[in-house]
Structures are given as C-alpha cells and as structure tokens.
Amino acid sequence: MALKGYVRQKDIAREAGVHVTTVSMALKDDQRLAESTRKRIRAIAEKMGYRPDPMLSAITVHRNQSKRSHHQGTLAWINPVSSENTDKIAFPEYFRGAKDRCEELGYKLEPLYFPDLGGQRLHGVLKARNIRGLLIPPQTHSRFHLEFDWSDFSSVCFGFTLSWPLLHLVTNAQYHSTRLSMRLLLSRGYRRLGFITSRETDERTDQNFLAGFLAEQQNLSREQCLPPHILEETTINEEPKRIRQWFDKHKPDAIIYHFDTLPVFLEKAGISEDACGLASLSLTDRDKGVAGIFQNDFLIGRKAVDVVVDMLHRNERGIPEHRFHFLVESDWVEGRTIRNPYS
C-alpha cells in the first residue's frame, strides 16, 4: 500500500497518459525517448512532487554492483593538449584509474582532444556519439577557462587549474598531505623544516600545499618557522643560486617540496642529500627510494568516474549550482632521503 502523499511512477504515468515504463525511461533521461516527451514527463513529475525512493535506489545500486555490468555507455576524457603535441594521454595515472573503474561499471572511456575540436565541434561529436559524461584532467596552466556548452553533460574536473566553469572536482587532499609530511618529519627529529615549490605549481594547486605548511607552523616555535621558498623562473641557470642563498640563510635540516626537478636544482646548488632531509609531495613511484607523499592518482581517477556516473544516474547536467570537492587521502612512503624511523 502506498503511503499518503507518496508519488509513484505509476501515478505519474496515469497523469501523463503513458505507460509506467515510459515514465521510468524519461526520469533516467533515456535518449530513446523524444526530448519533448522526456521534458513533459519530468515536468509532470516535478509538479506532482515525485522523489526517487532511496531504498529502491540502494537496491538497484547493489544489484548493479553485484554482477558484471554490461555496456552502459561511453565517458569522454577531454585532453587539454592537441593530439599533435603528445603521443600519450595527459596524466596517465588519473586516466588509468578512470579506465579501470569504467570497465568495472560497464563504460568505455574515450580520449578526445579539446584543442583539435574546439567547443562547438566537440559538442557536436559528443552529442553524435551519445556521450553524456565528461572527465576533465588538469589543464596546461592555471586559471584556465574552457568555453563550451556544458548544459547537456555531467562533468567533473581534476584539481584546481580550471577556473571556469566551476565543476565538481576530485583531487588529492593536498592541505592534509603537507601537514602529514611535517608531522612525520618532526617525529624523526627534524626541527627546521623548509618548503619549496614553484609559483606555477602553487597556483595550480590553489595554494593548498603551501597553506598546509603555513598552518602547521602555528604549532612550532618562532625559531623553527622558516619562510617558504617560491621558485619564480624555474630555470637551471638562475634558481639554484637563489636556493643556495635561501638555504644558507635559513639552514633547514629538512625540505618538503612540490617541484619534481628540485633534486637537480639542489645538486646544482651544491646541496647534497646528506646536507638535509628531503620529502616530496608528488611521488609518482613508491619504489624510487625517495621519501614523501604518494597522492594515489589511480584512486583519484576511479573516484572521478564514480562522481560522473552518479550524476548521470541522477540526471544532473550542466554547471552545478553548488560545487563539491572530493578529496582522496595520500599514502606516506619511506625512503633514503630522510632518517630511518628505527635509527
């Protein structure tokens, strides 16, 4: 027996003069129905106050996850660079994780290159291939804008490089990653912790790594609070000199860094691994012997697919009114570049 005031799909079907199967398809935005029919039925459902039954939705999700999914559709991976300028996928671990999750859920992941197509042509390609879900990897530079009609698509971006539109995003828990690093280094007996990143990297991460460093300094004495060093030019000719000046002035006994080529700069500056501890905030490999943060890019890619697929199921399209951030925790990796915890 239906609860008083509870609107069922069969109630909507009666009001719309269609079969209940048609209502179900319209509420799922099934492309096999005419758009006018889908809009009319959804308008009737909204007017009647229809809300999906959360228990039935949970049962459906459980049933779908307990068996191997058949083909559900295609999601697009929107590469930020032209296919002529690269022979590989941008951010391969994100892509590998996303592809892995797509296969589990019955989706295909197809790379498309935004610079090759442009907004209008890309929109047409996506519509023609019935692709409704978009994954947007980090862009080539910070504060990036993508001019595109987003209204037909469920989209999620990776990280903070996309300034417009403000899509839901998935990324590493960057602020916490720095704080975790500092606490571990302090537990190993380091007392003067330095921080080095580049201006571009700092902007690309919305200053989250730097914010974690500055926040954690509030727990230290004034003598332990070293100013962060921000690389402006990131050239091998100039930056090592500035790093050497900063190092000699502030005498860090360990450096936390978010700039992949920093070890090369330190060597050029005459600062050996024995001079201070080193902890990276962006390890790409757990087995290189360098200590630091492994951001779990593979898991971030998987989570992005979950977000998009959930949006597709809820028929959430376009630029969201309220943006959500989904943060994936890091793993700490031991390495030769800091003191052994048992020494």
Domains annotated on the chain, with CATH: 9-51 (1.10.260.40), 73-172+299-325 (3.40.50.2300), 174-296 (3.40.50.2300)
Nearest to 172 by CA among 138, 200, 147, 144: 138
Per mean pLDDT, which range of 81-95, 149-163, 180-194 is the poorest? 81-95
Q: What are phi and psi of 119, to 5 degrees?
A: -60, -50
For the record, the structure tokens of 93 come out as 């671990």
User: Can you give the pLDDT at residue 299?
Assistant: 94
Q: Do the Cβ atoms of 334 and 289 come closer than 8 Å?
A: no
How confident is the model over 281-331, as pLDDT tens digits? 999 888 888 999 999 999 999 999 999 999 999 999 999 999 999 999 999
Q: Give burial (CB, 10 Å; 0-12/13-18/19+) of 173.
A: buried
Q: Can you give the pTM of this predicted structure?
A: 0.79
How far apart are alpha carbons 215 and 5 in whole angstroms? 51
Q: Say if residue 255's pLDDT is above 50.
A: yes
Q: Say if residue 2's pLDDT is above 50.
A: no
Q: Say if residue 59's pLDDT is above 70.
A: no
- Average pLDDT for 67-88: 72
